[in-house]
């Protein structure tokens, strides 16, 4: 090592070489580099062993990040358990999960606000490169597009061990650093990341000019113009005329033949000709049907009113409001928009119908219209589900439908979602703004004619990913002229109006307030979230507070919107299973269940689930419920201030359940275990015994322990009793579901109200609360775990031998055309999947009725008048998971 | 006696030195990379809206006023408690009257809703 | 002169030991957290993670100290400084061992295990100084110009002043019994008669609860309350300034634990045995007893933190004004009455 230049003068004095050697042997510091080395050692040692992470989690990975703190993994051994809520006190930012465009400005700002030296761990496939959600229109293709990443942790999600490994890797990296080249001591190095702007899309201000230039050229539009487009089918018509079904089927089928070739490709068969770039605009082109599309039985859901009663109801409506009020289409009632309000009011209030519960609301983009449809059920006569349809203008931004928020307030967020995704306006809606995307986003993404920036074809797997097609793989970035996930309409010109100081998502949702004390005091608006220790992810609430009292609250969401539905329309049916895992990432088995039921409803007898598989499904679903409720209770306690201890105890039990999942399915969190007509694998040998032991010998005791330690706690009672109460009427009106609904005293559990699978065979009680306050929600969950254990005991005992799939394992799923809505009682509430099939390999429309999202509709009502501390508790009692809220 | 207060003064000096030390050390040692975004107010990753320094709720001031009242009264009780051993029965009566006055004040504040948190 | 030098040595020892103790208390806290959550806790730096506090300290010193633009800068810097100083000066009158003419001799007089042994209004002094602690917090909250900090600062000020009153009232009982405000006299009284906890159980509980509230510990940690206010009053603080709030908080815990032990748990009086008055051995035993009790008290405070949920703000204030104050006054009156009756 040549150190001559840095040797201090007094050390350059020529001394006896023997003495010099002696000195070097026995004295540590003989020259500058050595001194520096020593300082570096201390400097690095200090920083490496005290890495305090910024406490924020984005998506699924955040759950594993939290688990890394639990007793099994214990990140505290490395001195890194001190998750700081404020970036000012954090050393490392663990980007845990999908980075969305909506969230990116916040992440950049938080990163900038962290003091030097700071590090970034990119946790999981999504944070590293977009992961499974990469082609989503609201997903950033990796955090490293913006932030300098120090360590990438692979996995989807990485297990806690993997994160610990990442932490150790970061420690090693820090060990190799030296003060001499530490960038944070160099004033000339720019470490700040400019905050990107939410304009027509997420715009990186560093490349503003080139972006503007390319937009003006319209390069992306030109490329996408040549791509095969997804088909747009006409809306189903009433079966009045002779053979109209056939005519309609032919209309639907006509383009199918061309599309089939295209879609066949995903199966591996390569069609000779080029992909149907000339794919006809599926407009009325009454070509002879190539083959008849198989049609599924028309029914809105498995348990519903029934054809005869629906006919009677329809006739009654026609009698009441004049002919033409109600037309039966595919077992749903088509109502003209102008009579919708009257019909809705009638259906809700009439004694014989009492459709007081709006289960789900969604929209479908057809060739000739946009259909908004409503699934209604009655809590008085459960299981009498019907579907209403309203149709409106198809043209972008033209559609308008009356808002039903006055009849079913629970429609509020769902209507906003339809507006956001389809551009349908709802007349009379109190606050019709975009809910998941931001105001100013250029497109209505769920319209069939919207192609994502990374669009390559109507069905995955895209050509670019298949090696044979091109000779090598393409990265999506290479196919987009911007080089990133970006799409801006050609005419966009307001470039100079873009400002990163513009809070486009939140500024329209500033709560107004009322003066509550006679003395005039100032109220202020404070934003809780998106990065906040107790918003359960990247949820945000704009609070207006007067002192400690909340006088106004507006939830702001969409920070985790990762385009589940749009991606679901490109996925083949089977391919979509792993995506459902990532909806509510605490309950992947339950999500699988719902999705499987929806498609099985379309497939009918082709997917008849064998006995053994039914039992396995129920066992998995109930284990999921226990795991999810454990988590919910633990973190609810955390929210009301019990510092992590109950949460970590709850996680311990959850870990044991995840072990069972991992053993059966191969993955602890994202199980991807269900298949149409059964489950993916049979239970491994010994699984049943272990589950038996767990269920019979351990769970009851642990639930009792939680009950004993928590339920009687004075402070807990004080914090929970009477807070955030919803009356039964309110709970129904707001379309709340699951434990939230039942805590308010409504006996409505999908497992009993609209039984699916084999739940009718088990003996269990539906737990119902009384007051609908925080305590009841907590206690209902606790009791539900006991009931789940009851079911589990029966199911494990009775688990029969036999096949687990109706036929052979199949990768090509034929799904007949039609629509289906499946409902399962997920731990969070009613999880519904609405699937429209056109007979092709992918779903034509795929919508998720997510309980977390809809339960949030009532948040504002519950919180106004409460205190800041209550807001956190109320949110915790709703038990939301952001992956499902924003999808 | 006064001597002892000098001790306290010394302690304050030493404590101040101990407290100032880290501040100075950090000012000398730590990196300084200021930037516009870093200097913004933190509010969960979004920009803050409106001023934080506002006319705040009355309740806090009410409590402050009540505090001053009660604290002074508490201080009056200390000398009484110290010398209670040497005082007669009358001292007890006097104290009870005094305390009752205190309690009446509290009851008044309670009844008027000054202790209620809106 | 010699005395002054001795005193400065004494002060330095006290300040140094407490500062060091505080650093290690943070590790103890993390270990207790780990223990109560069935985990291991820091164990990678040094044996059993014993060097963890040093590592954290090194890091904090070398971390960038961010002062946001919108803060009130002088106050922003003053606040952490104040929080340490005010927490520190309470120690002046706290005896950490026997005090009196019989202490073990060194140089020309007996050693006094107290910085300012001659102050006979010790208790009053402690309360006076204790009230100052609120300044660090409220100034931090105010100067940060951050809404979370602001809320945290206001909460804290109202909380601390509210609990000041029942705390002051609750010790009147023991003062009545010992007829003195001098902490040494109170210990001696307990040594001769019975521990405060036995003769003043209600006073003890009120004092204990107030002690938790005064130190902002769970279940009363509302000024910080991570789940609501992110970091509360110290949200905007980074680097060592943030560390100083931490230190201040733990210093406060130490002071308060000393007070609980001295006022109600017999101070340096060990249970069941009676220690003699003079000699080095006895002095060391007494210091040991006191420190052990204080440590046990601190562990108890931490244990509570990892066990209980947090009060809501309005309930906290109600607890102080509507429950504790009447109870504390009642306690005083009843004590005085009983004393009067016994005297008859």
Is position B30 within any domain? Answer: yes
Q: Cβ of B85 under 8 Å from any chain A Cβ?
A: no
Is the Cβ–Cβ distance between A567 and A517 less than 8 Å? no
Q: Which pLDDT score is estimated for C344? A: 60
C-alpha closest to that of A881 among A564, A505, A622:
A564
Please indicate, yes or no, whether residues B32 and B72 belong to a single structural domain of this protein: no
Q: Which residues of chain A make contact with C308, given a CB cutoff of 8 A?
A: 641-642, 713, 715
* pLDDT beyond 60 at A290: no
Count of CB pairs separated by less than 8 Å, B with C: 204
CA gyration radius, chain A: 29
- Nearest-CB residue to B50 (from A193, A524, A532): A524
- Nearest-CB residue to B63 (from C92, C158, C181): C158
Q: Could you give the CA distance from residue A650 to residue A879 in angstroms, rounded to a whole number? A: 15
CA distance C228 to chain A (A): 6
Q: Which residues of chain C make contact with B94, given a CB cutoff of 8 A?
A: none
Phi, psi angle pair for A834, to nearest 5°? -110, 115
CA distance C239 to chain B (A): 8
Please indicate, yes or no, whether residues B66 and B97 belong to a single structural domain of this protein: yes
Q: Which pLDDT score is estimated for A162? A: 92
Please indicate, yes or no, whether residues B71 and B99 belong to a single structural domain of this protein: yes
**How many CB atoms neighbour CB B25 within 10 A?**
13
What residues contact residue A12 under an 8 Å CB cut-off, 6+ apart? none
CB contact under 8 A, C314 and A867: yes
CB contact under 8 A, B46 and A519: no
pLDDT in tens, C141-188: 888 888 888 888 888 888 888 888 888 888 888 888 888 888 888 888
The two structure tokens encoding residue A769: 């609360």
CA distance A105 to chain B (A): 8
Q: Which pLDDT score is estimated for A258? A: 42
Q: Cβ of A43 under 8 Å from any chain C Cβ?
A: yes
Q: Could you give the CA distance from residue A249 to residue A296 in angstroms, rounded to a whole number? A: 12
* pLDDT beyond 70 at A519: no
Q: Which residues of chain B make contact with C80, given a CB cutoff of 8 A?
A: 19, 23
- Identify the residue among B27, B33, B59 best suited for mutation to test binding to A, counting A beta carbons within 10 A and taking the highest: B33
CB contact under 8 A, C39 and A71: yes
Is the Cβ–Cβ distance between A126 and A97 less than 8 Å? yes
* pLDDT beyond 80 at A9: no
pTM of the model: 0.86
CB contact under 8 A, A648 and C37: yes
DSSP string, C200-255: -HHHHHHHHHHHHHHTT-TTS-TTT-HHHHTTGGGTT--HHHHHHHHHHHHHHHHH
Q: Cβ of B44 under 8 Å from any chain A Cβ?
A: yes
In angstroms, the Cα distances linking A469 to A259, A461, A571 are 18, 11, 19
Per cent of chain A over pLDDT 70 is: 90
Rounded (10°) CA dihedral C26, C27, C32, C38: 130
CA distance B24 to chain A (A): 18
Q: Which pLDDT score is estimated for A268? A: 41
* pLDDT beyond 70 at C104: no
Binding partners of C (≥3 Cβ pairs within 8 A): A, B
Please indicate, yes or no, whether residues B62 and B29 belong to a single structural domain of this protein: no
Q: Could you give the CA distance from residue A505 to residue B45 in angstroms, rounded to a whole number? A: 13
Flag the least confident range among A366-375, A452-461, A738-747, A843-852. A452-461
Q: Could you give the CA distance from residue A670 to residue A481 in angstroms, rounded to a whole number? A: 34
Is position B43 within any domain? Answer: yes
- Nearest-CB residue to C175 (from B70, B81, B110): B81
Is the Cβ–Cβ distance between C84 and B18 less than 8 Å? yes
Please indicate, yes or no, whether residues B63 and B99 belong to a single structural domain of this protein: yes
Query: Is the bond preceding A230 in cis, omega lying within 30 degrees of 0?
Result: no
Count of CB pairs separated by less than 8 Å, A with C: 182
CB contact under 8 A, B31 and A116: yes
Regarding predicted confidence, which is higher, C108 or A472? Answer: A472
CA distance B26 to chain A (A): 13
* pLDDT beyond 60 at A526: yes
CB contact under 8 A, A652 and C38: yes
CA distance B51 to chain A (A): 8
- Nearest-CB residue to A548 (from C42, C230, C314): C314
Q: Cβ of A708 under 8 Å from any chain C Cβ?
A: no
CB contact under 8 A, C56 and A50: yes
- Nearest-CB residue to B45 (from A110, A522, A549): A110
CB contact under 8 A, C38 and A649: yes
Is the Cβ–Cβ distance between A601 and A296 less than 8 Å? yes
Is position B53 within any domain? Answer: no
Q: Which residues of chain A make contact with B65, given a CB cutoff of 8 A?
A: none
Number of compact structural domains in chain B: 2
- The whole-number average pLDDT for the span C111-124 is 73
- Nearest-CB residue to C162 (from B1, B67, B75): B67
* pLDDT beyond 70 at A422: yes
Q: Cβ of A112 under 8 Å from any chain C Cβ?
A: no
CB contact under 8 A, C42 and A652: no
Flag the least confident range among A432-446, A654-668, B38-52. B38-52
Please name the residue of chain C whose CA is at the shortest distance from the CA of residue A73: C39
Flag the least confident range among A521-530, A807-816, C111-120. C111-120
What residues contact residue A811 under an 8 Å CB cut-off, 6+ apart? A267, A574
- Decide: helix, strand or coil at residue A328: strand
Is position B52 within any domain? Answer: no
Please indicate, yes or no, whether residues B12 and B43 belong to a single structural domain of this protein: yes
Across chain A, what does the average pLDDT equal? 83
* Secondary structure percentages of chain A, helix, strand, coil, to 5: 45, 15, 45
C-alpha closest to that of A614 among A591, A587, A588, A596:
A596
DSSP string, C46-68: SGGGTTHHHHHHHHHHTS-----
Q: Cβ of B31 under 8 Å from any chain A Cβ?
A: yes
pLDDT in tens, A293-323: 788 788 888 888 888 888 888 888 888 888 8
Q: Could you give the CA distance from residue C166 to residue C210 in angstroms, rounded to a whole number? A: 7
Is position B116 within any domain? Answer: no
Please name the residue of chain A whose CA is at the shortest distance from the CA of residue C38: A71
Q: A120 pairs with which residues across the strands?
A: A93
**How many CB atoms neighbour CB A471 within 10 A?**
6
The two structure tokens encoding residue A628: 């999810």
pLDDT in tens, A549-593: 888 888 888 888 988 898 888 888 888 889 998 888 889 999 999
* pLDDT beyond 70 at A719: yes
- Identify the residue among C30, C34, C37 best suited for mutation to test binding to A, counting A beta carbons within 10 A and taking the highest: C37
Q: Is A592 exposed, middle or buried (0-12, 13-18, 19+ CB in 10 A)?
A: buried
CA distance A636 to chain B (A): 21
C-alpha closest to that of A68 among A105, A100, A89, A94:
A94
Is position B37 within any domain? Answer: yes
Q: Which pLDDT score is estimated for A315? A: 87
Please indicate, yes or no, whether residues B34 and B66 belong to a single structural domain of this protein: no
CA distance C323 to chain A (A): 15
Is position B97 within any domain? Answer: yes
CB contact under 8 A, C225 and A869: yes
CB contact under 8 A, A88 and C37: no
CB contact under 8 A, A106 and B45: yes
Note the Cα A319 to chain centre separation in Å.
43
- Decide: helix, strand or coil at residue A678: strand
Greatest Cα pair distance, chain B, in angstroms, is 71
- Identify the residue among A104, A112, A117, A509 best suited for mutation to test binding to B, counting B beta carbons within 10 A and taking the highest: A112
Number of residues that make up chain A:
887
Q: List the Cα angle A675/A680/A681 in 5-degree steps.
A: 155
- The whole-number average pLDDT for the span A612-619 is 91
Is position B117 within any domain? Answer: no
**DSSP-H helix ranges across A227-367:** 244-253, 256-264, 307-321, 340-349
CA distance C311 to chain A (A): 6
Q: Which residues of chain C make contact with A540, given a CB cutoff of 8 A?
A: none
Q: A826 pairs with which residues across the strands?
A: A829
Flag the least confident range among A111-125, A170-184, A465-479, C98-112. C98-112
Q: Which residues of chain A make contact with B58, given a CB cutoff of 8 A?
A: 517, 519, 521
Rounded (10°) CA dihedral A461, A467, A470, A471: 170
Q: What domain range is B42 assigned to?
A: 2-47
- Identify the residue among C227, C231, C301, C314 best suited for mutation to test binding to A, counting A beta carbons within 10 A and taking the highest: C227
- The whole-number average pLDDT for the span A325-343 is 86
pLDDT in tens, A235-249: 888 775 444 444 444
Q: How confident is the model at residue A122 (pLDDT cuts 50, 70, 90)?
A: very high
C-alpha closest to that of A343 among A329, A357, A355, A360:
A355
Please indicate, yes or no, whether residues B70 and B43 belong to a single structural domain of this protein: no
pLDDT in tens, A257-273: 444 444 444 444 333 34
- The whole-number average pLDDT for the span C32-39 is 86
pLDDT in tens, C228-265: 777 778 888 888 888 888 888 888 888 888 888 888 88
Q: Which residues of chain A make contact with C43, given a CB cutoff of 8 A?
A: 77
């Amino acid at each position: 090592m040549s150190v001559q230049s840095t040797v201090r003068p007094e050390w350059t004095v020529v001394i006896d070489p023997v003495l010099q050697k002696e000195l070097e042997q026995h004295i540590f510091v003989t020259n500058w580099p050595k001194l520096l080395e020593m300082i570096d050692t201390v400097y690095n040692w200090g920083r490496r062993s005290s890495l305090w992470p910024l406490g924020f989690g984005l998506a699924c990975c955040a759950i594993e990040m939290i688990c890394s703190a639990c007793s099994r993994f214990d990140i505290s051994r490395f001195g890194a358990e001190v998750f700081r809520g404020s970036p000012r006190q954090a050393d490392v930012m663990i980007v845990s999960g999908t980075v969305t465009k909506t969230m990116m400005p916040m992440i950049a700002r938080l990163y900038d606000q962290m003091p030097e030296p700071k590090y970034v761990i990119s946790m999981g496939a999504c944070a590293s490169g977009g992961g499974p959600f990469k082609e989503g229109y609201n997903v950033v293709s990796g955090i490293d597009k913006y932030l300098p990443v120090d360590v990438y942790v692979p996995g989807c999600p990485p297990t806690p061990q993997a994160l610990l490994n990442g932490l150790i890797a970061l420690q090693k990296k820090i060990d190799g650093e030296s003060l001499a080249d530490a960038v944070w001591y160099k004033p000339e190095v720019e470490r700040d990341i400019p905050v990107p702007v939410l304009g027509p899309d997420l715009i990186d201000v560093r490349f503003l000019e080139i972006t503007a230039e390319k937009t003006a050229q319209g390069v992306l539009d030109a490329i996408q113009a040549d791509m095969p487009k997804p088909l747009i089918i006409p809306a189903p018509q009433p079966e009045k005329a002779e053979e109209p079904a056939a005519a309609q089927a032919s209309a639907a089928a006509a383009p199918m033949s061309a599309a089939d070739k295209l879609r066949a490709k995903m199966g591996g068969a390569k069609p000779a000709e080029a992909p149907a770039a000339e794919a006809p605009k599926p407009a009325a082109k009454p070509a002879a049907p190539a083959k008849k599309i198989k049609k599924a039985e028309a029914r809105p859901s498995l348990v519903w009113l029934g054809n005869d009663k629906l006919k009677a109801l329809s006739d009654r409506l026609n009698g009441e409001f004049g002919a033409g009020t109600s037309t039966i289409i595919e077992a749903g009632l088509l109502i003209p928009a102008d009579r919708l309000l009257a019909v809705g009011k009638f259906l809700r209030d009439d004694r014989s119908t009492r459709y007081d519960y709006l289960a789900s609301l969604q929209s479908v983009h057809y060739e000739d219209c946009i259909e908004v449809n409503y699934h209604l059920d009655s809590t008085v006569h459960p299981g009498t589900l019907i579907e209403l349809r309203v149709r409106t203008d198809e043209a972008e931004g033209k559609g308008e439908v009356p808002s039903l928020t006055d009849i079913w307030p629970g429609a509020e967020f769902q209507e906003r979602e339809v507006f956001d995704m389809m551009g349908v306006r709802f007349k009379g809606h109190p606050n019709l703004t975009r809910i998941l995307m931001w105001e100013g986003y250029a497109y209505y993404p769920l319209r069939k004619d919207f192609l994502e920036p990374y669009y390559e074809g109507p069905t995955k797997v895209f050509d670019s990913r298949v090696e044979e097609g091109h000779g090598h793989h393409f990265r999506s970035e290479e196919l987009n002229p911007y080089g990133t996930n970006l799409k801006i309409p050609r005419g966009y010109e307001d470039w100079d109006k873009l400002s990163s100081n513009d809070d486009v998502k939140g500024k329209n949702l500033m709560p107004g307030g009322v003066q509550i004390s006679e003395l005039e005091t100032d109220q202020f608006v404070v934003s809780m979230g998106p990065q906040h220790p107790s918003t359960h992810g990247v949820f945000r609430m704009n609070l207006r507070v007067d002192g400690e009292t909340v006088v106004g609250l507006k939830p702001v969401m969409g920070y985790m919107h990762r385009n589940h539905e749009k991606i679901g329309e490109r996925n083949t049916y089977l391919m979509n299973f792993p995506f459902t895992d990532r909806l509510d990432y605490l309950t992947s088995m339950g999500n699988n269940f719902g999705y499987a039921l929806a498609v099985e409803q379309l497939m009918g007898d082709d997917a008849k689930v064998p006995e053994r598989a039914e039992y396995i499904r129920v066992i998995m679903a109930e284990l999921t419920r226990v795991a999810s409720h454990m988590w919910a209770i633990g973190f609810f306690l955390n929210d009301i201030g019990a510092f992590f201890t109950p949460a970590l105890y709850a996680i311990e039990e959850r870990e044991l359940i995840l072990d069972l999942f991992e053993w059966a399915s191969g993955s602890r969190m994202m199980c991807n275990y269900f298949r149409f007509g059964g489950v993916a694998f049979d239970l491994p040998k010994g699984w049943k015994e272990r589950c038996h032991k767990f269920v019979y010998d351990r769970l009851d005791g642990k639930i009792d322990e939680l009950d004993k330690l928590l339920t009687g706690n004075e402070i807990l009672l004080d914090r929970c009793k009477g807070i955030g109460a919803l009356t039964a009427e309110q709970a129904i009106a707001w379309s709340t579901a699951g434990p939230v609904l039942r805590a308010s005293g409504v006996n409505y559990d999908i497992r009993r109200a609209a039984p699916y699978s084999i739940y009718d065979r088990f003996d269990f009680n539906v737990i119902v609360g009384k007051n609908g306050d925080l305590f009841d929600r907590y206690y209902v969950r606790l009791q539900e775990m006991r009931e789940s254990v009851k079911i589990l005991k029966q199911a494990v005992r009775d688990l029969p031998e036999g096949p687990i799939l109706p036929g052979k394992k199949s990768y090509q799923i034929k799904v007949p055309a039609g629509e289906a809505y499946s409902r399962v009682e997920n731990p969070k509430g009613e999880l519904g999947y609405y699937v429209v099939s056109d007979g092709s390999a992918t779903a034509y429309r795929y919508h998720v009725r997510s309980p977390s999202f809809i339960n949030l509709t009532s948040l504002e009502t519950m919180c106004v008048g409460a205190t800041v501390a209550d807001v956190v508790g109320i949110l915790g009692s709703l038990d939301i998971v952001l992956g499902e809220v924003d999808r | 006696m006064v001597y002892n207060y000098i001790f306290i003064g010394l302690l304050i000096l030493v404590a101040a030195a101990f407290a100032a030390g880290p501040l100075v050390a950090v000012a000398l040692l730590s990196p300084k990379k200021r930037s516009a975004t870093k200097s913004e107010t933190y509010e969960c990753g979004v920009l803050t809206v409106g001023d934080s320094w506002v006319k705040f709720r009355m309740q806090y001031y009410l409590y402050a006023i009540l505090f001053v009242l009660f604290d002074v009264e508490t201080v009056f009780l200390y000398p009484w408690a110290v010398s209670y051993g040497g005082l007669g029965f009358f001292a007890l009566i006097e104290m009870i009257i005094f305390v009752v006055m205190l309690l009446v004040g509290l009851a008044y504040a309670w009844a008027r809703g000054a202790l209620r948190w809106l | 002169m010699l005395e002054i030098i001795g005193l400065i040595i004494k002060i330095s020892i006290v300040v140094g030991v407490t500062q060091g103790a505080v650093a290690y208390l943070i590790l103890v806290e993390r270990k207790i957290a780990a223990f109560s959550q069935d985990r291991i806790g820091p164990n990678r730096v040094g044996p059993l993670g014993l060097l963890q506090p040093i590592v954290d300290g090194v890091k904090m010193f070398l971390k960038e100290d961010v002062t946001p633009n919108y803060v009130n800068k002088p106050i922003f810097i003053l606040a952490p400084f104040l929080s340490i100083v005010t927490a520190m000066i309470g120690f002046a009158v706290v005896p950490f061992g026997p005090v009196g003419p019989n202490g073990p001799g060194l140089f020309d007089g007996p050693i006094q295990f107290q910085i300012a042994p001659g102050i006979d209004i010790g208790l009053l002094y402690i309360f006076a100084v204790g009230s100052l602690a609120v300044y660090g917090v409220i100034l931090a909250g105010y100067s940060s110009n951050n809404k979370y900090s602001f809320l945290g600062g206001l909460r804290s000020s109202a909380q601390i002043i509210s609990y000041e009153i029942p705390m002051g009232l609750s010790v009147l009982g023991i003062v009545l019994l010992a007829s003195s405000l001098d902490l040494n006299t109170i210990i001696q009284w307990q040594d001769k008669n019975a521990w405060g906890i036995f003769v003043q159980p209600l006073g003890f509980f009120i004092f204990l609860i107030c002690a938790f509230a005064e130190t902002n510990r769970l279940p009363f940690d509302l000024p910080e309350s991570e789940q609501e206010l992110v970091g509360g009053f110290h949200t905007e603080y980074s680097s060592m300034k943030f560390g100083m709030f931490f230190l201040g908080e733990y210093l406060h815990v130490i002071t308060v634990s000393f007070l609980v032990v001295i006022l109600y748990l017999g101070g340096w009086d060990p249970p069941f045995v009676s220690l003699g008055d003079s000699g080095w051995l006895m002095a060391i035993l007494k210091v040991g007893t006191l420190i052990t009790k204080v440590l046990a008290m601190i562990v108890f405070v931490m244990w509570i933190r990892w066990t209980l949920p947090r009060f809501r703000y309005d309930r906290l204030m109600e607890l102080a004004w509507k429950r504790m104050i009447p109870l504390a006054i009642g306690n005083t009156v009843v004590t005085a009455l009983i004393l009067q009756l016994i005297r008859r």
